[in-house]
Structure 1
């Protein structure tokens, strides 16, 4: 078995009891590994009092406290990095993580950096052999030549992410192996009876004839929710309902400035817009079952949002923006791609209207969506993840043999 240490994201705990896309990916890899028994995994993660006892046989969790000063510290870190380019720890607990890694790195064949803060690579791995460090990258990251000196292989979740990194910093050389995200398909392809759908619609105050548009994701400016609401206002159809699911900080409490703005836009709108807030991942299928289509109106270059595949697995036609790696995941026969330009709200409105008026087209897209989603199972993701790590270990062993 290969011994690996996963440096997990530091926003939310693992298991992903409070949400978080990256946290869910790490949990999925650990769960699949229990079946496959290919890896001995140690996960460095954020502690939470809500975490229950570890029942994993092949995964050990090392937890680090998230303190009250972390948020303030992070703002200072960004300011110092921007002004003078010094890599101090992004959070106080990273000091402890760095010390732990330097003390224990010889126990592992590889260290997999799952956190999105790629600018922490120079700080964390300054005293560790770069050949042992792999970055599993879920966004564009912060590509620069200095960072490349502290890891040797990039596992981007899309070709787009890998190309962006290489185009911005090709030296020193790193290997690039795309490992696409995977989801628990069975969570999202559950089917409800018509009676069960009616119950949910009634609970939300939605009649059975209404056309439901679903958005699932974080409520932050980059996700294009304001533009989607504007598109609904352009359509201006009493029989259309926009269902918004998500929060800025997943299951954490508190409302951000942008969430307040979205709430105001909803209150000002004369159309049917329902905001449900954060819904647990294993409960999303209920709302996907009553939806007619899903829209992901991201206005930045997104690596590969899981919501894209989750909605496909639920059999929903999807409208997405031409954003980063998202088109790599969305099947051509089950998605409509619009440009994320100044006319986004009008483009969204046009394509939504088209799907409202074409039931046969929606049904065909839905069938293709379910079929396409099977390519993005947790098993497939784990297979690619393990295969890449195995090849990396073999390569390192050959290099070490030559040195000897």
Structure 2
């Protein structure tokens, strides 16, 4: 049995008490390992009371808990970082105080693989020295710039698109690269309402049974295309086309941003045509998504592997997506309409919404295709491929 240590990014706890894409993914791997027990698993993470409570029933994963960075620690680190750069260059500098504490916590421990979940594209030299033959990088994004990377022995990419981007942009590509597609707990999203319950829940949000509801679920940040989706709905001359927005700028935090303010102004301008819920826990998303008729994923950047696409398919929601990153790798033309992410993206979204509004039969066919497609991206499938990657090292 391989001894594997996963190092969470350190921004949010694992188990995912506050959400977070990477944290939720790690939580899924942990829970699947509870069932199958094919890995000797350790997880390095920050924590909070809720995460500790969630971890209480997990018996086959060792959690190595790291206190979150304080403001004072960050300030001291920045000062030391600046001094070290002048004296020694970048070589032995860790990315943050969190990684200093991680390295300290792993002293004296041995693993077959140590996997940085996110973090720097080039391995911190102190980590590479400590784990010279088994330091991996789990890449959850699409590189869009040229860079150097040393110290990792294997790169796990969440899509072939991301893996190919790494090969193109890494100037000194030496590490093995392998794709392990993400997966979701499809059972969580297979719950449903009766027609009566669905209509009642719609009324609570201000929607009628006759409305055609478009769902957006994700972070409220510019690259996710929320404003473009709002403008697309605004340009549809049909008061029964409604938009349901779920999300926040930074997962479960109450952070205010200029972009959030702009989104809220657009929501207010559209009045009763939009409902904005803010952040909703992942375990409760199905209650909102089951009210919708379709889901839009209007990404304006190269999205490596958006979980919301898999979740939408598992809930039988027809998708409207942009041609972005790994999205087409996870979806299919049978369950998703794809629009270019160009200067005309708003019109593309508008036309796609109208096309699905006017064709209920097409929506039903896309729903069935999505349910079938979602079976390819379960947690069990992700875990199996992850274990295979570990065993091939």
TM-score > 0.5 by shorter chain = yes
Corresponding residue for residue 282 of structure 2: 281
2:36 is matched with 36
Equivalent position SS for 1:268: helix
1:143-194 Cα deviation digits (max 9, x unpaired): 76642x2101111010011011111125352111110000000111212101
Q: How big is the shift at 1:142?
A: 7.8
1:26-81 CA-partner distances (Å, limit 9, x unpaired): 0101100111111111100012133215322210111111134289659969x97x
Partner of 1:91: 96
Q: Provide closer, same or farther for how the CA distance between residues 254 and 169 of structure 1 changes in structure 2, counting only shifts above 3 A.
A: closer
Deviation at 1:270, TM superposition (A): 5.2
2:135 equivalent to 1:133:
yes
Report the equivalent of 1:7.
7
For residues 100 and 127 of structure 1, do their structure 2 counterparts lie closer, same or farther at Cα, with a shift above 3 Å needed?
A: farther
1:89 CA displacement: 3.1
Deviation at 1:99, TM superposition (A): 2.5
Q: For residue 349 of structure 2, what is the aligned residue in structure 1?
A: 348
1:109 has 2:112 as partner = yes
Calculate the TM-score normalised by the size of structure 1.
0.90
Q: Residue 93 of structure 1: CA displacement?
A: 2.1
Cα distance between partner residues in 1 of 2:226 and 2:364: 25
Counterpart of 1:399? none
**What's 2:261 paired with?**
260
Correspondences of 1:190-229 after superposition (within 5 Å): 190-229=191-230
Question: Does the Cα contact within 8 Å between 1:242 and 1:274 map onto a contact in 2?
Answer: yes
Deviates more, 1:123-132 or 1:270-279: 123-132
Distance in 2 (alpha carbons) for counterparts of 1:218 and 1:47: 22
Q: 1:250 to 1:74 in 2, by over 3 A?
A: farther
Note the aligned Cα RMSD (angstroms).
Answer: 2.3
TM-score by length of 2: 0.92
Measured in 1, the distance between the counterparts of 2:73 and 2:165 equals 29
1:118, 1:142 within 8 Å by CA — same for their partners in 2?
no
Structure 1 residue runs without a partner (length 5+): 393-404
> Which stretch shows the higher mean deviation, 122-131 or 189-198?
122-131
Q: Which has the higher helix share?
A: 1
Is the 1:232–1:271 Cα contact (8 Å) retained in structure 2?
A: no
Assess if the C-alpha contact under 8 Å between 1:159 and 1:325 holds in 2.
yes
| Deviation larger for 33-42 or 63-72 | 63-72
Q: Answer yes or no: is the 8 Å Cα contact 2:77–2:97 preserved in 1.
A: no
CA contact (8 A) 1:89 1:120 kept: no
* Distance of 2:372 and 2:258 partners within structure 1: 39
Cα distance, 1:312 vs structure 2:
0.6
**3-state secondary structure, aligned to 2:321:** strand
- What is the rounded CA distance, in whole Å, between the counterparts of 1:278 and 1:379 in structure 2? 27
Partner of 2:65: 63
In 1, are the aligned partners of 2:64 and 2:105 still within 8 Å (CA)?
Answer: no
Instruction: Show structure 2 runs of 5+ residues with no match.
Output: none
Asked whether the equivalents of residues 113 and 134 of structure 1 are also in contact (C-alpha less than 8 Å), the reply is yes
| Cα distance between partner residues in 2 of 1:351 and 1:70 | 50
CA displacement, residues 100-137 of structure 1 (integer Å, 9 cap, x when unaligned): 33x235x21110111x2224622452413443011121
